[in-house]
Structure 1
Amino acid sequence: MYSPSLEFLKSPIENVVNLLGGVPQDHEKALKHGFYNALAILLLMIALSAGWAVFIVLEPFFKPLLWALLCGSVLYPIKHSLATSMNSWLSSLPTNSTPLLLGIIIVPIQILDNTSERIGNVTLKYIKYIVGFVLCLCICHIMYQYTPHICICIIWKLGMIGSNAISWFMSLFDTYRILAIILGYIILLISFWTPDTAHYFTLAAVFLWMAISLFLASLASSFQVTIFFVLQCLFGCGFGYEVLLVYKKMSASNISRKIVQFQEESLLSEEKLKDVNEKNENEQGLDKENLSKPKDSENVEIRPKDLVSGAVGSINNPSEKEYSNIETISQKDVRKRLLPLDETASSSGIERSTPSFSETSFQKQMIAAALHKHKARIEVGSSNVNSNHRERPESTKYLYGLTWACVLLSMWTYFWLLHATYILLLIYIIKHTGQYFHIWQMIEEQIKKLWTVIHTWYSSRHEALFPVHITGFFKLATQMNGVMMEILKDSVNMACCTIVILGVICAIISTIVFLTVQVYSEGIHMLQVGSSILNSTYMRNTKLMDGWQSQLDSIVNDAYSYGRQGISSGVHHWLKDVDPEKASQLEEQVLQLWDRIYQAWMTSNNAAIGPKVTTSAIYASFDSLVEDVQKTPELLNMAGIMAFLQDNVGTLLTVFDSLWIILKGNITLFMDSFLAIIMIVFGSGTAVINFFLNLIVFFTALFYLLASSNEMYKPVDLITKYSPNSGKRFAVALEDAIASVFHASIKRAIIYGLWTWLIHNLFQVKLVYIPSVLAAMLGAIPVMPVYLPSAPAVLELYFQDCTFYAVLLSIIQVVSASTIDSTIYKEIKGGGHPYLTALSIAGGMFWLGPEGVIMGPLLLCALFVAVNMSTYILQDNESEQELQEQMKHLSELSRLTQLRKCVS
């Protein structure tokens, strides 16, 4: 029979070896390995060359792609939580039989309900503190506003009497007297102390220390009463701390009593288990056939290797129970796990009796100790890679506290904001009141009854109410609703990515617009304050002669008077051929306009004391003058105008020449500025185009990264897929490091911005938003100390003769900056010491500019993560080997115990 040849199944390397020929049989395998290595190196070089070529192609877009990768790791948790919420909402619509359109309509109602529920729960949780705070405010307000003056005087007098009494008592306890009292008390304590009189000595010790505190306070000459009250406060704190310690001891004694009771109950249960074991041994001795064929459900044997693998797997998995609870394993389960699989013993018919209770307890303790040691090593390694996510960072507490403080200050400043919470609390109260009294349940039952009646009435008349085409339309709408639901479920990921990116863009634009408006208004105020300071400084330090201000005032008054006379003569000369009555009327209006202009100019920088000429009054005078001129055409005497121009042609030419010089200089300046702007725009056009192109690449890459990430961030998923052993652990650690660096920068910016805004508002300075914006920018990009933006506020308080507040503001800013920096830098995962993190930020800025604020600590974190991961992997392998050896030793010990029992 013909058999086909299988030579075509040979590898190309074997064909090459056959073509070479003459190769010894011993060298053929080495030659194949050489060919394989050469081929692998060739493929590696091709892959590296292709990677380098791809890098060269994508080099112009490398920076936006890298930033998209980093920002995506921060925005992915937001997108994932939003997608989860939307999927759960879409899944709840068919469950509740709610159409899609109706579900979209009631979304704002659900948001309002959830908001009111959260605010109500928070209010109910802290109701004691809120009520206490409000009562304290009300009492302080009432005491401040409505306390009679006589009561304040009485309280002041009582305080003075108490101060004088304390001072008198201090004068009684001088050095000799207090030494005599202490020495006498010690003698009495030595001579007469017994357990029966101990109570009296305890009371006497209170008065003794009161006398000692009076003596110590008397040593401070000017602050005797203050020091005495401080000492009493310290004694009160000590008393409270002692009470707290006693309470803790009592609680600990109760817990220890419960533990002893639990141990007694466990010992009783163990004795019962021992009796059950003895009974099982007796039954096994009576029926050996059943022992030779054990049931699977009772005698399942597990190898120590399986026990080790199961223990390691359960420890590595944080969702399973810890092995510290191994004491709760039943006696049968312990027997199953400790019995080894010995085929020789089972084939020879050796009985496997159950070990005694003491031996089993010892073995369990050994297993627990080994597993606990292995678990401790794993926890130490994993703590270097991933910190505990359940514990809230300290900087987050700072952020929440600052946010609430700013919200409360805003509500105190703009009290109308508090009315919005009243509506939400009213909704919460109505909702829970109805639930408590079962009102909503009663309404629901009545609606169900009404719906049953309506449905019964409708079932026999539905064709009369809804014809066929309306019924078909409803069915079509139901089908369309299902189709739209499926489309929305498929596009939830894309929609969430779009919402997150648009939300970030809108938040940035809104913040920039709001801060720009606030900074603009404060910038104008700062320019006005600066100009007034410069003017006042110049006026105080000028080298002009004495009395120059009065001379300047007289010059201005003379100019006003001469100008008024010139206007009057000019009008007379102009209107010499006009009716004298109309000419005098026009002259009066022109002079009135001149007077109002002068008064408005002189009172523009003064406070509003007495009557003040406004701009509207000047416009009214000018309009009335123009109307009178228009109503009287004979006022336009062209001959008089021409004569006036001929007489003053030289003056007019001089004025026009001066105006032309000014206009020419302004036009030149405008043209130079316009040409400079054009040169900048067209000369730097490539930079502008590159900026917008990089922006498009950044947002596009960010969108696709978020859209392609489902349960895990896409880069983490890829690293996990191509390195299944430890790639996931490394990728997750690196992602946490990136997120922690971004969170640190964002937290610094937000915390410093809010803190500066809060402090400046509390000290009631004029400049608030400019220092806050600068502090936020310096928090994100620390090129300078963060407390420098508070310098204008310190100067403002100093110039207002508030030196104490100025010093206090500067101290608060410096101390808070050092505290917040150390706290935030400490929370960067894998960054090492906070000092190294700060140095990495500074070095990154020197290397890459503002981008180095992120890249510097990120590279440091990547280095630490790689080192910690390698150390952790080595420790993990060593601990697993040691655990296997210990479990092997325990299995041998268990086998020897069983053989001993069988022999005996």
Structure 2
Amino acid sequence: MENSQLLNRLTSMQGQDSALHFAFYNALLFVLTGICIAGLYAIYKIMYMFLTPLLWATLVGTILFPAKRRCNVWLEGWFSELDKNDTPFLVGLLLLPYQCLVKLSDLMISHAFKLEGAVVFAIYLVLKILDGGNFVWVIGFFASLYNHIDSFILFYTQKWVLAFTVVYFASFIGWIYVQDKKTINKKLARLFSVPVWIFALCWLSSFCGPLKSLVFISASLLLGLIAAGVVAPESSKPATPKETQCKENLFLIILADEEVPGTGKVYTEPQNNSVARALSGDSYIQIIFGLCVIMFAARHDVVTLVVILIGIFGASRRIVYFIFKLYLRSTEASTLLMVEFFLRSSQRRESTSIDAGIADEYINFAKFLSVLGEILVLPKLSCFFLSSFYYIYIFDRYYSKILQLRRSICSSIDVLSSIFVMSFLALTFIFLTVFAAVQLHNETSHLIDLGSNVLSSQPEWLLMSAKNYTEGTLSHHEINDYVNQAYTKGRELLADNVRKLVDPGDVERADLLEKQVMQLVDELYRMWEERGASTINASSGSTNELMKRLKSADFAAFKEELVNVLKQNVETILNILRSIWTVVVLNISLIASFLFSVAGIVLGFGLNIVNFFIETIVFLTAVYYLLVSSKDRWLPLKWISDAVPTSPNDAPLEAMATGQREPTNSSFSSSDITAAIENAISGVFVLSTKMAVFYGLYTYFVHSLFDLNVVFLPSILATVFAAIPVMAPYTVSVVGVIELFFVRGETAAAIVFFLLSAAPLCFADPAFYRELKGSHPYVTGLSIVGGIYWLGLQGAIFGPMMLCSMLVLFNVYAKFTKRA
């Protein structure tokens, strides 16, 4: 019985179906997982060559998409304006430059009579005056004035001046004592007290060390303002009710967020949003860009002339419009004619065929333009424009192909804006590359000249360093003695070695060879001494002078002696050549492998060029399709938001951006992911780009203000150091400091230049860092450097992208934990 029950249990399928199904599902899951992993690996191997250009396309497209969206909005507005005004497409296209010129002139005129226009004009005048090295001269003038004040303080604090001042002060007190207190002349007494005040200020400022002149100037200005009555203590007169009310209001402002007595209201200090906006990083970029444009206009009068012509055009256009408006008011027939024309044109807007009504419409419009031509005293020119307008009007409005073209253009705004943005980027990149190459070539030569002149001019600081190193026992004439001794000993050593090349029995030939070699050495030494006295404006023909002096020397005996030496040692030379050939034969395999390696390098370089062209094509194609496919949102962000399920309580992005509503559940949503990605990209890439642009423009402006020879190279280095902050951007000012201090001898200008170069640390960097949340530019720089160290040049994009990914994960996790 027990055996039959055991047999039934073994043969029964009850309880085994679920286990079999579970095992089958597990096996199927592992198989599908393996297939997915294999498919992903296959896709990776297929797309491995194109991963880098696709990633670069995603990054560049992220930067270009805002510009493409603005261009798209502008094109849509332009087409809607054409439809609204019933303007033909070709006419609108031909009038587009004119409309841009009109808007530019109106913008200039509208700002010219405001505070911004006055500020721009004042800055232009100041930069125009300080251009051409005048700014350095002004700094030198104030530096010399500062030194004179310093000398005056030293003179006024001497002991004999102290004794003289004490005697003068005693005499002054005695004079005050004998005067009548009611009839004394106070102004004269104050005038007599000036020397005493000067001595007191000099004595107090002498304790401030290098800043004594600055303290003396500040204290003198303060005393002068007090004496003139500009700065005066508060009077003891009773306050008026109005002043009392003002003080109460001031007290309420100080005690903010407290209840106002008698009103029951709470006073809250208003927030100055305009000041907050003015201190943002974008505002600093706009300001320094405007300063660079004004500096360029101050240095190039052509820009100023163009601005004046545009202003004259805008003013004349407004004057003509005003006169035309007055003429229309005085001529009722012209007004009726214009109204009749526009009424007829609006009634025939739906018409698509050429009939007699078009001719009537043209006649009416021709009458209107003829009136305008009579006003402008251009009847023949107006007839020409009328006929041209008629043909353009007929061709554009009533041919179906043109209408189809217009519709196709309206439907392809995304394509047009994408092509325009990419073309603008390509042309800008080519122009900047060529411009940078030319500027770097010129400024590299300036750097070489600067270094050679600093080293060859024997500056005083080098002599002082030598004296400090030798504890003050070295003088200038001792340095010259050491150089002369080295020259004499070297000359004798060279003469002895030259005589060994000649047969000892031939004394005459040895003397002749020694004489020629000594002549050559003397010429070279004399040229070296003259080089030490050269300046930054040394003649460019020094190389030609060297060749002339070398050609003037007679080397006939030297050549003859070399030929004799070679003839006498022919066997030795042949033995050396045989030894070299033996080594070559024994190492033929090594030479062959070397040649094959060189050939492989050449072929690999050619394949790299082909791969570069392929990657470039893939990059441009990917950027184009990403921009065209992105409508209102960037396509990769749209894919991510579509892949993440949307919560029922998830607010739209616009509402979250304005702070209207936030998701209340603890689940992930598309808005969380996309917002985290946008914040990470803004913190890693956008802010680094802003700082790079600001420091590049600021360095260019400061270097141009001091009229330095090397401007563009420090600007590029400052841009790189701002984007990759491994070094402070102001370290590039070393070149300018060297030029101002060592070459020009402008110590004060060098100090002011360095202070201006480091000034953004006080106002610009805090403004940029306030915009950054969750990261720091230094971390971005480390990610770029670490990525390059790990993956080469490609790491410049992979490093920041990995940093962005970590920031995205951190931000999403932070939002999830807050909601949970």
Pairwise same-fold verdict (TM > 0.5): yes
TM-score by length of structure 2 reads 0.56
Distance 1:246 1:433 in 2: 53
The answer to whether structure 1 residue 129 and structure 2 residue 119 are counterparts is: yes
> 1:120, 1:425 within 8 Å by CA — same for their partners in 2?
yes
Distance 1:174 1:440 in 2: 78
Distance 1:401 1:466 in 2: 51
Corresponding residue for 1:397? 283
Distance 1:814 1:473 in 2: 62
Over the matched positions of the two proteins, sequence identity in percent amounts to 25
Instruction: Give the 3 Å change call, closer, same or farther, for CA 115–716 of structure 1 in structure 2.
Output: same
> 1:730, 1:865 within 8 Å by CA — same for their partners in 2?
yes
Corresponding residue for 1:416? 302
- Higher mean Cα deviation, 772-781 or 730-739? 772-781
> 2:90, 2:392 within 8 Å by CA — same for their partners in 1?
no
Instruction: Give the 3 Å change call, closer, same or farther, for CA 462–132 of structure 1 in structure 2.
Output: closer
Corresponding residue for 2:641? 720
Instruction: Give the 3 Å change call, closer, same or farther, for CA 605–490 of structure 1 in structure 2.
Output: same
TM-score by length of structure 1 reads 0.51
CA displacement at 1:515 relative to structure 2: 1.9
Corresponding residue for 1:797? 740
Instruction: Give the 3 Å change call, closer, same or farther, for CA 121–529 of structure 1 in structure 2.
Output: same
> 2:88, 2:397 within 8 Å by CA — same for their partners in 1?
no
Tell me the secondary structure at the aligned position of residue 633 of structure 2.
coil
Number of equivalenced pairs: 577
CA displacement at 1:517 relative to structure 2: 2.0
Q: 1:846 aligns with which of 785, 789, 804?
A: 789
Q: 1:583-610 CA distances to partner (integer Å, 9 max, x unpaired)? A: xxxxxxxxxxxxxxxxxxxx9849xxxx
Distance 2:338 2:304 in 1: 41
Q: 1:780-809 CA distances to partner (integer Å, 9 max, x unpaired)? A: 455666455544433333442515157527
Instruction: Give the 3 Å change call, closer, same or farther, for CA 825–860 of structure 1 in structure 2.
Output: farther
Matching residue's letter, 2:808: V
CA displacement at 1:58 relative to structure 2: 0.8
Higher Cα radius of gyration = 1
Q: 1:65-100 CA distances to partner (integer Å, 9 max, x unpaired)? A: 111112211111111111111111112211110111
CA displacement at 1:420 relative to structure 2: 1.6
Corresponding residue for 2:43? 54
Matching residue's letter, 1:413: R
> 2:710, 2:736 within 8 Å by CA — same for their partners in 1?
yes
Distance 1:781 1:689 in 2: 31
CA displacement at 1:502 relative to structure 2: 1.3
Q: 1:768 aligns with which of 708, 711, 715?
A: 711
> 1:167, 1:225 within 8 Å by CA — same for their partners in 2?
no
Instruction: Give the 3 Å change call, closer, same or farther, for CA 687–125 of structure 1 in structure 2.
Output: same
Corresponding residue for 2:627? 706
Distance 1:719 1:234 in 2: 65
Distance 2:522 2:810 in 1: 84
Corresponding residue for 2:101? 112
> 1:733, 1:865 within 8 Å by CA — same for their partners in 2?
yes
Corresponding residue for 2:605? 684
Distance 2:225 2:23 in 1: 81
Distance 1:838 1:241 in 2: 54
Corresponding residue for 2:412? 491
The answer to whether structure 1 residue 862 and structure 2 residue 805 are counterparts is: yes
CA displacement at 1:212 relative to structure 2: 9.8
CA displacement at 1:263 relative to structure 2: 12
Corresponding residue for 1:590? none
> 1:794, 1:807 within 8 Å by CA — same for their partners in 2?
yes
Q: 1:15-64 CA distances to partner (integer Å, 9 max, x unpaired)? A: xxxxx96459xx87x98888778766665554444333222221111111
Q: 1:415-462 CA distances to partner (integer Å, 9 max, x unpaired)? A: 332122222333444456677899389489876534467799999976
> 1:737, 1:861 within 8 Å by CA — same for their partners in 2?
yes
- Structure 2 segments unaligned to the other structure (5+ residues): 1-11, 135-144, 170-196, 235-242, 266-273, 349-354, 363-390, 459-479, 493-514, 525-538, 543-558, 567-595, 648-668
Matching residue's letter, 2:59: L
> 2:702, 2:753 within 8 Å by CA — same for their partners in 1?
no
CA displacement at 1:413 relative to structure 2: 1.8
Distance 2:750 2:99 in 1: 50
- Structure 1 segments unaligned to the other structure (5+ residues): 1-19, 145-155, 179-208, 268-387, 557-602, 607-649, 658-674, 878-904
Corresponding residue for 2:81? 92
The answer to whether structure 1 residue 103 and structure 2 residue 92 are counterparts is: yes
Tell me the secondary structure at the aligned position of residue 398 of structure 2.
helix
Matching residue's letter, 1:417: V
CA displacement at 1:101 relative to structure 2: 0.6
Distance 2:358 2:337 in 1: 21
Instruction: Give the 3 Å change call, closer, same or farther, for CA 45–248 of structure 1 in structure 2.
Output: farther
CA displacement at 1:731 relative to structure 2: 1.7
Corresponding residue for 1:501? 422
Instruction: Give the 3 Å change call, closer, same or farther, for CA 822–756 of structure 1 in structure 2.
Output: closer
Tell me the secondary structure at the aligned position of residue 710 of structure 1.
coil
Distance 1:482 1:729 in 2: 45
* Equivalence map 1:272-311=2 (5 Å): none
Distance 2:620 2:278 in 1: 31
Distance 2:303 2:392 in 1: 49
RMSD over aligned CA atoms reads 6.1
Q: 1:524-553 CA distances to partner (integer Å, 9 max, x unpaired)? A: 455566677788789999668899999889
Corresponding residue for 2:377? none
CA displacement at 1:765 relative to structure 2: 2.5
> 2:784, 2:796 within 8 Å by CA — same for their partners in 1?
yes
Matching residue's letter, 1:520: H
Q: 1:499-519 CA distances to partner (integer Å, 9 max, x unpaired)? A: 111111110100111122222
Distance 1:426 1:75 in 2: 36
Tell me the secondary structure at the aligned position of residue 802 of structure 1.
coil
Tell me the secondary structure at the aligned position of residue 608 of structure 2.
helix
> 2:72, 2:414 within 8 Å by CA — same for their partners in 1?
yes
Corresponding residue for 1:888? none
Q: 1:80 aligns with which of 69, 77, 95?
A: 69
> 2:700, 2:715 within 8 Å by CA — same for their partners in 1?
yes
